[in-house]
Amino acid sequence: MTESEALLRAQVLRSLIEKANRDYYDLHQPTVGDRDYDMWEKELLSLEEEFPFLKDENSPVRRVAGGLSEGFAKVQHNPPMQSLDKTHAKEELAEFDSFIRKSVDGFSYVIEPKVDGVSLSLVYSGGVLVRAATRGNGTTGDDITANVRTIAAVPKVLPPSAPKELEVRGEAYMTREGFVELNARQAAAGLEEFANPRNACAGSLKQLDAAVTASRPLSVVVYNSGGLGCEGFATHTQMIEAFREWGFPVSPYLKHASTQEELFAAIDELEKARHSFDFEIDGAVIKIDERVHYDTLGATAHGPRWARAYKYAPERAETVVEAITVQVGRTGILTPVAELKSVFLAGSTISRSTLHNVDQIARQDIRIGDHVWIVKAGDVIPAVDSVIKEKRTGEERVFEMPRSCPVCGGEVRREEGEVAVRCVNPACPAQLRRRLEHFASRNALDLKALGERVADALVDSGLVRDVLDVFTLSRERLENLDLAEGANAEEKEEDFQDGLLPGLFKPVRKFGRNAVNLLNAVDQARTLPLHRWLFAIGIPGVGVSVAKDIAAEHEKFSDLADSAVLKNVLENDLKKGKERKVLPIKVEAAKAVLSFFAGEYGKRFAERMASLSLDPQSEKKVSATSGALAGVGCVLTGSLSRPRHEYAAMIEAAGGIVQSSVTSKTKYLIAGENVGASKTEKARKLGTQVIGESDLLALLA
């Protein structure tokens, strides 16, 4: 491989890994299996070692992967919360063992399950839980104290035998049984079901309402120390026993090994027991038991050299790709799906698997009729691992993406530089179903009881032909909405009639009393602020934060279509040098919003809003003339004593405008601890006042 080829491949791998990290940590919607992800990491590391010019400290394989969320105060980790380097074969583990034996004498291993959950830190002061935080990017995490306090397994007060100042680290998880029960409740209420326990756990911990977290079946396993209170332990085993005595839940499996043979036997034993725990595991964690060696062995920016994660090969089963169908998402993206001959794998029957996009199908050379190996990525997500090409007969057919939308028959396009093929018809029923789901989601209009199944039924029944039709629904028609209509009804008919009276049985499941909940939520949505409505529309690139920034510069919804503010953003972008100003709204966001309202669908949407007498107001208009911070721009930064969303709500209630970055319109920079110099320096240059939390509370009072 030449240097130019290596550079190109490294760029591709970094892009793949970064996207996978965003999907997994930020969106909680993994789109790639662990095995593929780990192989990408391994290949990139090899390239960076073979071609030193590729080494970069910002490479995703040389730092801790993780995400930070809006609405939470930030916490600085000292020492950092690291990840673990991974091995996938016993040969690699033997190399780790050889490295340890050359580096230190007099050691043994301890082997524990690798829990597939969400890493967190728990800090106690005076024996009382004072802070809980996510790992985030390793150095900075989200403060989730209020949510973690709702988890029964987490001790809120420690016994007198525990250190007064203590930090422990572990993994939050959702129990297997609890995950099944939660999804059953979600389905019964017509709400979206979760993809797997890890995603359900991550989403539960990142709730802005702790009452939601309290309703979820969460638990924790504590397996390591932080920066406080555990300096005196000679071994990891002693520390774990102390954790147990202090009331922390610890791993139910802990084995010791002195030789390589004992180590291999322990990880094999654990693999056989992997489905016996009440949490998902995806491997074993191997650590040096004697803590005296930790400083000698040291660490990289990614993880400690005295520990390794041994990833188990995903369980797999052979099946046949009987067909490849295409699903259409909210934004019109066409996603190919493998329809499989049903096969039982790792506790469930698999009949479908997403193939992501046509490029991935080409890379794996998957054809209709192929025999394939199916795995469960992370023990949960069905994925096509590889094609068994030696079983090909010549009858297999190459898949081609449809040249028109498989749902509405409309035009499809693939933009330059994108892998996605999109249906460009905004009236497509498939897009409408998923758009309606987004419209009703929590950060949008929060329409209770309107989840995936209800959205499908509303569109299939013809009650909703546009998302705004929810404002014209009657109680009677909603109560009689049949949630078993459409394609699913045929499946249920076959399941229940058992060959008796064919064609006469039709399952019916009415929406019933949930109609009142939905209609009440629809009424409440009429008074929601502008930024919630702007996010609800689902304009690409306009997330929660961007919607708030745009809404803060407008008084009402009807101002957006021909917004002078957004046009000024585009004009400002064309200027050069000192003429260009720092504006709170990004150019891409301004383009997206103006393009939406200039299009046919956007024009119809605005007209329909007017006909329904809907013109949502910006929050700043509510208290702009009477609030203590009327019209004042504020930026929150640093580690604050209470969740950031609480301060943001207080500022907005007082007429203030919460901004994501310091601009010439920012009057106050509210700074907590550990503030970076760049923001304070920028504030000084722009004449922005830097104040503390107590100063803010005084202003609000």
Concatenated DSSP letters of 218-249? EEEEEEEE-SSS-TT-SBHHHHHHHHHHTT--
The CATH 3.40.50.10190 portion of the chain extends over 619-700
Note the pLDDT tens digit of each residue in 670-687. Answer: 988 777 666 778 888 888
Selected catalytic residue, list 74, 86, 114, 679: 114
Structure tokens at 118: 């969400």
What is the CATH topology of the domain spanning 3-54?
Helix Hairpins (1.10.287)
Separation CA 453–CA 437 (nearest Å)? 9
Following DSSP, what letter does each residue of 77-141 receive, concatenated?
A: -SS------EE-SHHHHHHHHHHHHHH-SS--EEEEEEE-SEEEEEEEETTEEEEEEE-TTSSEE
Task: With beta carbons less than 8 A apart as the criterion, state whether 665 and 633 touch.
Answer: yes
What is the CATH topology of the domain spanning 74-311?
D-amino Acid Aminotransferase; Chain A, domain 1 (3.30.470)
Confidence bin at 575 (pLDDT 50/70/90): confident
Structure tokens at 563: 């917004």
> Is position 114 annotated as part of the catalytic site?
yes
Average pLDDT rounded to a whole number, residues 7-16:
85
Separation CA 555–CA 488 (nearest Å)? 45
Confidence bin at 384 (pLDDT 50/70/90): confident
Following DSSP, what letter does each residue of 640-698 receive, concatenated?
A: -SS-HHHHHHHHHHTT-EEESS--TTEEEEEE-BS--HHHHHHHHHHTPEEE-HHHHHH
The CATH 1.10.287.610 portion of the chain extends over 3-54
Task: With beta carbons less than 8 A apart as the criterion, state whether 67 and 202 touch.
Answer: no
Average pLDDT rounded to a whole number, residues 94-116:
94
Confidence bin at 27 (pLDDT 50/70/90): low
Domain 619-700, CATH: 3.40.50.10190
Which of 92-106, 109-123, 205-219, 572-586 has the lowest average pLDDT?
572-586
pLDDT surpassing 90 at residue 264: yes
β-pairing verdict for 307-311 and 86-87: parallel
Separation CA 537–CA 517 (nearest Å)? 22
The per-residue pLDDT for 35 is 65
Type of residue numbered 701: A
Which of 65-69, 123-127, 231-235, 315-319 has the lowest average pLDDT?
65-69
- H or E stretch covering 532: helix 530-537
pLDDT surpassing 80 at residue 156: yes
Q: Model pTM?
A: 0.48
Angle at 44 between CA 39 and CA 47, to 5 degrees: 125
The structure tokens 């309290």 sit at 214
Could you tell me the sign of the dihedral formed by the alpha carbons of 422, 426, 432, 434, in that order? Answer: positive
pLDDT surpassing 80 at residue 227: yes
Confidence bin at 488 (pLDDT 50/70/90): very low
- Where does 425-513 have alpha helices with state H? 429-439, 452-460, 475-479, 487-497
The per-residue pLDDT for 492 is 38
CATH 3.40.50.300 fits 316-413, yes or no: no
Note the pLDDT tens digit of each residue in 128-146. Answer: 999 999 988 888 889 999 8
User: Which positions ≥6 away from 12 have C-beta within 8 Å?
Assistant: none
The CATH 2.40.50.140 portion of the chain extends over 316-413
The CATH 3.30.470.30 portion of the chain extends over 74-311
Structure tokens at 556: 């009402």
pLDDT surpassing 60 at residue 91: yes
